[in-house]
Amino acid sequence: MVTSVGRSRPADADGAPPRPAQARRLSASARRRQLSDVALHLFAERGFGATTMDDIAEAAGVTKPLLYQHFASKRALYLGLMDAVAAQLIDDIRTAAAAADGPRQQVERGFLAYFTLMMRQERAFRLLYGRDGESGDPELGAALRRVEDAIAAAIDPLIDAGLDDEHRRALAHAVVGMAEGVGRHWITSRTDGRTAQPDEAQVLATRISDFAWAGLRQVHRT
């Protein structure tokens, strides 16, 4: 699994991929992280179909055979990046919820973890929110659904309302859909290149959790 998300080098100021590092100065793990960083940038900016392994190798300053030593295919690289984003997001949500004082705080802290990571790793979320999973490619579509299912599974235990499993899972997916919808709006509306404000994630989390909590507290068995 690719694990560079959350620990990648920043892109250049002009938005270009991270500058290539000297090929002989990196360990295998460091090289893999560097290649992942470059691929993440290109996939987020261009999409899966418009990005080639040649593009990634050139941007990373390595040969294509070296790239294939680390990743068996473009598809494997892309899916690994999606898995890494999801794993980091799930870990952050669970950690935030565990530190909450009660159900209402769990909802807000969960949203806060989601939006904080989104703003810190915007390109990673552009990968998730891209339309590659909706392009008719069954494998990419299935990968996106796995990410959504995994996030919903992390939220499921936080919905404690005496509901049956199916009811609770449906609500968990509804919460995921809310976060994803707000995230898509935030990313696609950022056309001025501005950076996120320090309290922007908290503002979003408070607004959306107020809305979500008002609905969740009215839930009853059916």
Kindly tell me the burial class for residue 90, based on how many C-beta atoms sit within 10 Å of its own C-beta (0-12, 13-18, 19 or more).
middle
Mean of the per-residue pLDDT values of the chain: 82
Higher pLDDT, 118 or 26: 118
The answer to whether 6 and 86 are in contact (CB under 8 A) is no
Q: What is the pLDDT of residue 11?
A: 46
Q: Domains of the chain (ranges plus CATH)?
A: 81-216 (1.10.357.10)
pTM for the full model?
0.77
At 138, is the pLDDT very low, low, confident or very high (cuts 50, 70, 90)? confident
The answer to whether 130 and 40 are in contact (CB under 8 A) is no
Q: Which two tokens stand for residue 42?
A: 């290109």
> Which range has the worst mean pLDDT, 3-7, 29-33, 173-177?
3-7
How many residues are given for the chain?
A: 222
Q: How far is CA 13 from CA 10, 19, 71, 186, 192, in A?
A: 9, 11, 28, 21, 14
